Structure 1
Amino acid sequence: MLNINIRDINMKFKTSNEVFSPKNADKGTLAMLSVVEFDGNDKVLDLGCGYGIVGIFSSKITGSTNVVMTDIDSKAIELARENIVLNDVQGIRLYQSDGFKNIDEKDFTVILSNPPYHTDFSVPKEFIEKGFNRLSTGGKMYMVTKRKDWYKNKLISIFGGVRIWEIDGYYVFMAMKKDTSYANIKPKKNKKK
């Protein structure tokens, strides 16, 4: 059992050696949570939730009914379910899903992810590309990784920009979905010759 305090919020977690970071909160996750800014009305997706630190922490700020957690791993889902009860945040919706496959919602204001580090970038590529479409206008995607260039370039190519923090050897990225509707594009003025 882990007892974790993040930003003066005390939580407890049952873990297992079968899941990511079983002995303590991952430093990358803590780095990401140190910079995330929540609005009390945010609708949050913890994408790749593991045993639940990010989603449960988020629910303590935004309210449990505003949080969705998902992971592909059945053991992670089992532990997250137990930790939701342990931390008294039963309103969280929890799905076993490969990325977005089992999630229909498309109006998240915050997506948080500490994606697995694969050399081919297939998982974070899908998270970024599909995550963009699941965010509402003004919504933010936060990711934390050990690598900088690929994530920076990918987030800029999809979102048009990115903010980066370097914390404890990790890179935390935040990209915002801007309004790209035609109604908000100003026409260029023609110069007369």
Structure 2
Amino acid sequence: MININMDNKTLSFVTSDGVFSPKSIDKGTIAMISQVEFQSTDKVLDLGCGYGFVGIYASKIAGVEKVVMVDVQDEALELAQQNIEINNTTNVTLIKSDGFNNMFETGFTLILSNPPYHVDFSVPRNFIEKGFNRLTIGGKMYMVTKRKEWYKKKFISIFGGVKIWEIDGYYIFMGIKNSMKYASKKK
């Protein structure tokens, strides 16, 4: 069991060795969360939710009915469901989907992801390209990785720009969907 207190919110998580970062909340994920300015009006997508830390934390600010958590791994989804119950966030939406393949919701103001990035770029490429279309105008996508250049170029090519923070060896990327970029994509 992982117990964490962030911003006066105490949360608990069951994990297992079969999921990402089973012993503690990943430092990169914590770094990403530290840069997000959550609002009570946000509609949040935790893309690749794992055992659920990001989505459950976001639900404590935005409200459980405004959070969608997605993962493809059965074990991660089972743990996320347990953690949703442990943290009393039972109205969060949990969906089994390989990226956006089985997830059809739109209108997100925030998409947050710590994607698998040690093998190739196919997963983060899909997350960034498809995520752009799921954001509202002014919506933001945050992603954390240990690699910089490919992500920087990809965010710029899709969002027209990117803000990057480096924290403890991690890069946090933030792209904003603006109406000018959206209009040019429609042509």
Gaps of 5+ in 1: 183-193
2:37 aligns with 37
Once the two structures are superposed, residues 126-169 of structure 1 have per-residue CA deviations (whole angstroms, 9 ceiling, x without a partner) of 00000000001000000000001000000000000000010011
Please state how far the C-alpha of 1:117 moved relative to its aligned partner. Answer: 1.3
C-alpha separation between the residues in 2 aligned to 1:5 and 1:49? 19
1:189 aligns with none
1:69 aligns with 69
C-alpha separation between the residues in 2 aligned to 1:167 and 1:10? 23
Once the two structures are superposed, residues 23-42 of structure 1 have per-residue CA deviations (whole angstroms, 9 ceiling, x without a partner) of 00000000000110111110
After TM superposition, the structure 1 = structure 2 runs for residues 114-193 of structure 1, keeping only pairs within 5 Å, are 114-180=114-180
| Alignment size in residue pairs | 182
1:93 aligns with 93
SS in 2 for 1:60: helix
C-alpha separation between the residues in 2 aligned to 1:120 and 1:90? 34
Please state how far the C-alpha of 1:18 moved relative to its aligned partner. Answer: 0.7
The aligned amino acid for 1:72 is V
2:58 aligns with 58
**Structure 2 length-normalised TM:** 0.95
C-alpha separation between the residues in 2 aligned to 1:111 and 1:178? 15
Please state how far the C-alpha of 1:8 moved relative to its aligned partner. Answer: 2.3
1:191 aligns with none
Please state how far the C-alpha of 1:119 moved relative to its aligned partner. Answer: 3.6
Larger Rg, first or second structure (1 or 2): 1
C-alpha separation between the residues in 1 aligned to 2:74 and 2:4? 23
4+ runs of 1 displaced by more than 2 Å?
A: none
C-alpha separation between the residues in 1 aligned to 2:39 and 2:7? 15
